[in-house]
A and B are shown apart, each in its own frame.
Chain A
Amino acid sequence: MPDTVPADSVGLVSPNTLHIPTPITLESGRSLAHYDLIYETYGVLNSDASNAILICHALSGDHHAAGYHSMKDKKPGWWDGYIGPGKTIDTNYFFVVSMNNIGGCAGSSGPKSIDPETGKPYGPDFPIVTVLDWVTTQAELADHLNIKQWAAVIGGSLGGMQAMQWAISYPERLRNVIIIAAAPKLSAQNIAFNEVARTAIKSDPDFHNGHYDEHNTLPRQGLGLARMLGHITYLSDQAMGEKFGRELRHGSLNYGYDVEFQIESYLRYQSESFVEHFDANTYLLMTKALDYFDPAAKFDDDLAKTVESITAKCLVISFTTDWRFSPERSHEIVNALLIAKKEVSYAEIEANQGHDAFLMPISRYQEIFKAYMNRIASEGKQS
């Protein structure tokens, strides 16, 4: 954390918790009797509630998208580069809402919450939730905040899938949708990576079938491996090459099995810091939500038919070196929207950062994103 809060930061923020006392039946058929949603807001909701933006987070994200929780924080929220006064999502005009999805581990109901039936944490028994379930609970939050219609729902990666699901399931509740670095469903290769990650977690002896809390352990090794694997898929070969190359930690080869290359050290550091704040059961659940996402499955696998209900204006963005959800995956979404004659714009951004590009400050990406946000703001001001 800098000594003073930067002028373009939303500053110090604190989350709110909404308790939903009514039960929800999930897509799986299981239900939660009641649940909590933790969320943050930035900016001010205007009198007719027409300036509200929903941010949907990706696999390892949470509700803390911008600003700082304390002056001691080392880093701001996960999308701080894009949310703040004067930034792409300008909090001088917009009221931004960011929620931790259920099944998460940052404060909304999830595997770490107490199961009312047993009085113990759910652990692996927390029901598997889907993208549609998340959208349903996000709509609950919108109701609570008296937001009838979002000016835009925005998300990258798994967040982009939620944004897309919003536009399909609640067409009357959003005017714009921005789908970044996403896909209409996972490929076999995507699912395969997720399965390796899950296997790493489940085969850790400290995992105890998900009941590691009761054993006072953590599947550090397994979750760390899952994170390492994930991290590799978020970066491009080019980005890794530029950042680390074949640089050695100690200048010369040791002919042993300890960390020698900088990239090895980086991955270990990433995994070690991740396991301290992320829950393994949540990781499993999130990867399943990704695997299950396939809105076209209910429409004879016809994506154009699936998006028929959409009335929002759409912006789709992809990145050239993203191989996790490549530009071709975004083309599938765009082509479906074109066939359905929906309002859509699409930009493919030249970027060497791979999938993670959606989080990074890339000038062309910011320019296009900002132009679109300005348009939303000017529409709001006219009406």
Chain B
Amino acid sequence: MSLRVDLQIISDWIPDGSHVLDLGCDNGTLLHELQKRNITGYGLEIDNGKIAECIASDVNVIHADLDDGLSGFADQSFDYVILSQTLQAIKRPDFLLDEIIRVGKQAIITFPNFGHWQCRLQLVVAGRMPVSRTLPSPWFATPNIHLCTIKDFERICDDKRISILKRCIVDHDHQNTLGIKISRNLFGQIALYQINKTTDS
């Protein structure tokens, strides 16, 4: 079975033998794949149904609520901390970002870009909260309570003195189109970042 394309990109960024923490690991697909390359670690997941699936596929999974932070984990104890398509559903994404770069030597964050032109158009022209393939729920039922744009994310990284090491902006089909090359915030639908704590040099 092949991986979802965004998960494939994340996987490509992680070297063999790394120790990783996957925040909101769902049914453990990514970790299961990474284990084949001698990559160890844990998934954190709040849904016990998903936890059972992780266990069935031999993935180490810990029941946890990301809104409670990562206090059980020591500083810099993972090579990579992964937060895939979950940042926008966190109560305080800024606090979690602090925790992620505390615990991980590197972090990989992916999120849906709310600055995409379709989102902007729905709000400006139709006067309605945007609904799209990446953000399918209506405003009252969405788990996505803290949506941000690519510009917003890079701004918070800057404010927090977080270094952006890699960036990959793609559309739904995970293609890097000409439009994205012209304006990533207008045409990018999914953003993937590799970041770490800026070290004073």
Residues of A within 8 A of B (CB): 315, 331, 334-335, 338-339, 341, 343-350, 364, 367-368, 371-372, 374-375
**Could you tell me if A334 and B55 are in contact, using CB atoms closer than 8 angstroms?**
no
**Could you tell me if B63 and A348 are in contact, using CB atoms closer than 8 angstroms?**
yes
Whole-angstrom distance between the Cβ of A271 and the nearest chain B Cβ: 35
**Could you tell me if B72 and A331 are in contact, using CB atoms closer than 8 angstroms?**
yes
Residues of A within 8 A of B60 (CB): 343-345
Complex-state Cα separation, A374 to B52, whole angstroms:
11
Using known A-B contacts A335-B72, A338-B42, A341-B19, determine if residue A375 contacts B55 with beta carbons closer than 8 Å.
yes
Residues of B within 8 A of A335 (CB): 72
B66 interface contact, C-beta 8 A: no
Partner of B72, one of A315, A338, A350: A338
**Could you tell me if B73 and A338 are in contact, using CB atoms closer than 8 angstroms?**
yes
Residues of A within 8 A of B137 (CB): none
Complex-state Cα separation, A150 to B44, whole angstroms:
28
Chain B residues with a Cβ closer than 8 Å to the other chain, count: 20
Q: Which of chain B's residues has its CB closest to A373's CB? A: B55
Partner of B52, one of A334, A346, A350, A367: A367
**Could you tell me if A372 and B63 are in contact, using CB atoms closer than 8 angstroms?**
no
**Could you tell me if B62 and A368 are in contact, using CB atoms closer than 8 angstroms?**
no
B51 interface contact, C-beta 8 A: yes
**Could you tell me if B54 and A334 are in contact, using CB atoms closer than 8 angstroms?**
no
**Could you tell me if A372 and B55 are in contact, using CB atoms closer than 8 angstroms?**
yes
Instruction: Count A-B pairs with CB separation below 8 Å.
Output: 54
B56 interface contact, C-beta 8 A: yes
Residues of B within 8 A of A344 (CB): 42, 60, 62
**Could you tell me if A339 and B61 are in contact, using CB atoms closer than 8 angstroms?**
no
B158 interface contact, C-beta 8 A: no
**Could you tell me if A368 and B51 are in contact, using CB atoms closer than 8 angstroms?**
yes
**Could you tell me if A346 and B58 are in contact, using CB atoms closer than 8 angstroms?**
no
Complex-state Cα separation, A375 to B61, whole angstroms:
14
Partner of A368, one of B40, B55, B73, B74: B55
Complex-state Cα separation, A338 to B64, whole angstroms:
13
Whole-angstrom distance between the Cβ of A332 and the nearest chain B Cβ: 9
Residues of A within 8 A of B61 (CB): 345-346
Complex-state Cα separation, A345 to B48, whole angstroms:
12
- Tell me the chain B residues, 34-67 only, with Cβ under 8 Å from chain A: 40, 42, 48-49, 51-56, 58, 60-63
Complex-state Cα separation, A364 to B63, whole angstroms:
13
Partner of B54, one of A338, A345, A350, A374: A345
19 contacts between A and B (CB under 8 A): A315-B55, A334-B72, A338-B42, A339-B73, A341-B19, A344-B42, A345-B51, A346-B61, A347-B48, A348-B63, A364-B52, A367-B49, A368-B48, A368-B51, A372-B55, A374-B56, A375-B55, A375-B56, A375-B58
Whole-angstrom distance between the Cβ of A366 and the nearest chain B Cβ: 10
Complex-state Cα separation, A264 to B196, whole angstroms:
60
B142 interface contact, C-beta 8 A: no
Complex-state Cα separation, A347 to B49, whole angstroms:
10
Among A335, A346, A374, A375, chain B packs the most CB atoms within 10 A around the CB of A346
Whole-angstrom distance between the Cβ of B131 and the nearest chain A Cβ: 31
B134 interface contact, C-beta 8 A: no
Q: Which of chain A's residues has its CB closest to B59's CB? A: A345
Residues of B within 8 A of A341 (CB): 19, 40
Complex-state Cα separation, A380 to B49, whole angstroms:
25
